[in-house]
């Protein structure tokens, strides 16, 4: 089985092939806006698979959602707007920031305290930068 980096690289290479010369005309025409409508469909299909309790269906639908998301990220990379690495680095930093009870010195004894901390951190992020989520 390929490692995480190799798997992601292979996925991005597949998207490049589909969108490149000699690729698929449908894929070549897509924009982030045209692809965005598939996100909700794929999320709903993943939720249905999870609720069905079928791991094979969850794996398949997770792949469909990941493909759609990776496709959209690649479109933005091609516009030099941001990179997949930037998405991952920003997400990593956000999750570390929002888990001070794991990565910092904060404590939370109950799930309610965790949820309160999360909400406070998220609100502070939104006040500090437009578009933080």
Where are the domains positioned within the chain? 4-82, 89-128
Averaged over 13-21, what is the pLDDT?
A: 98
Band (pLDDT 50/70/90 cuts) for residue 38 is very high
- Torsion 39-44-49-53 (CA) sign: positive
Residue 45, pLDDT score: 98
Averaged over 58-65, what is the pLDDT?
A: 98
Q: How far is CA 25 from the centre of its chain?
A: 25
Q: pLDDT (tens digit, 9 = 90+) per residue, 79-121?
A: 999 999 999 999 999 999 999 999 998 888 899 999 999 999 9
Is residue 71 scored above 90 in pLDDT?
A: yes
Average pLDDT, the chain: 93
- The DSSP call for residue 104 is S
Q: How far is CA 31 from the centre of its chain?
A: 17
Half-sphere exposure of 93 (CA within 13 A, CB side): 9
Is residue 66 scored above 60 in pLDDT?
A: yes
Residue 108, pLDDT score: 86
pTM summary value: 0.84
Residue 2, pLDDT score: 58
Kindly provide the b/e burial profile for residues 43-80, where b requires at least 16 CB atoms within 10 angstroms of the residue's own CB. Answer: eebbeebeeeeeeebbeebeebbeebbbbbbbbebeee
| Architecture (CATH level 2) of domain 4-82 | Orthogonal Bundle (1.10)
Averaged over 59-84, what is the pLDDT?
A: 97
């Amino acid at each position: 089985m390929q490692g995480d980096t190799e798997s992601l690289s292979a996925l991005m290479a597949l998207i490049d092939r589909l969108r490149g010369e000699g690729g698929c005309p449908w894929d070549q025409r897509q924009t982030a806006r045209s692809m965005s409508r598939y996100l909700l469909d794929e999320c709903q299909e993943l939720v249905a698979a999870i609720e069905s309790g079928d791991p094979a269906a969850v794996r398949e639908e997770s792949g469909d959602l990941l493909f759609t998301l990776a496709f959209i990220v690649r479109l933005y990379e091609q516009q030099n707007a941001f990179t997949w690495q930037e998405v991952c680095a920003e997400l990593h930093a956000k999750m570390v920031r929002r888990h001070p009870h794991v990565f910092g010195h904060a404590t939370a004894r109950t799930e309610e305290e965790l949820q309160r901390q999360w909400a406070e951190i998220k609100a502070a992020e939104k006040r500090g930068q437009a578009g933080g989520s």
